[in-house]
Amino acid sequence: MTPPCRSRTKRSTSRSTTLVERTSRYTTIVALPDGIKAEQVTPHLTRSLLGIPPKLRRTLTWDRGREIAEHHAITTETKMPIYLCKPRSPWQRGTNENTNRLLRQYLPKGANLRTFNQADLDTIAHELNHRPRKTHSYRTPAEVYADLLNSGDALTA
């Protein structure tokens, strides 16, 4: 699992975060309608992580931000270790940065995220997950993710 990243605008207090499974590039976008303080992010993030099958819920890498201050609570609830990147080191989160670049085609910088609810973000994630990727020999993240779920051992994929 690669790190979530928040999308922000100057005019909006609404945020979202992305969760990207690293092998398949399968993306989940989580609305953060309550803000990005740790106590507001933790329940949304925990709920989303618990929705991922345990065999694919291995680790989470996050940039250093106040919103992840309760990472021990998330780890306790999800049994998923969380690693924090070094400050100003986006290359440690390459898959997520690339996914956020694709996400900008749907949510450009400055977009008012208050106009998007979780269903809208799910639709965008669905489109990203059904978009063929060169890195997968033009298979979609959804196809690769399904293969991981059906494989006997997700760690060998």
Residue 140's CATH number: 3.30.420.10
Compare 54 and 120 and report the one with higher pLDDT: 120
Contact 5, 18 (CB under 8 A): yes
Length of the chain as a residue count: 157
Residue 87 within any structural domain of the chain? yes
10-34: string of b/e by CB count within 10 Å (b at 16+)? eeeebbbbbbbbebbbbbbbbbbee
Please state the domain count of the chain: 1
Query: pTM (2 decimals)?
Result: 0.79
pLDDT for 100 equals 87
Taking only the tens place, the pLDDT of each residue in 106-153 is 988 888 878 888 999 999 999 999 999 999 999 999 999 999 999 865
Residue 1 within any structural domain of the chain? no
Domain that holds residue 88: 16-147
E-assigned strand segments in 8-105 = 15-20, 27-32, 60-62, 82-84
Q: Looking at this protein, which amino acid is placed at residue 41?
A: V
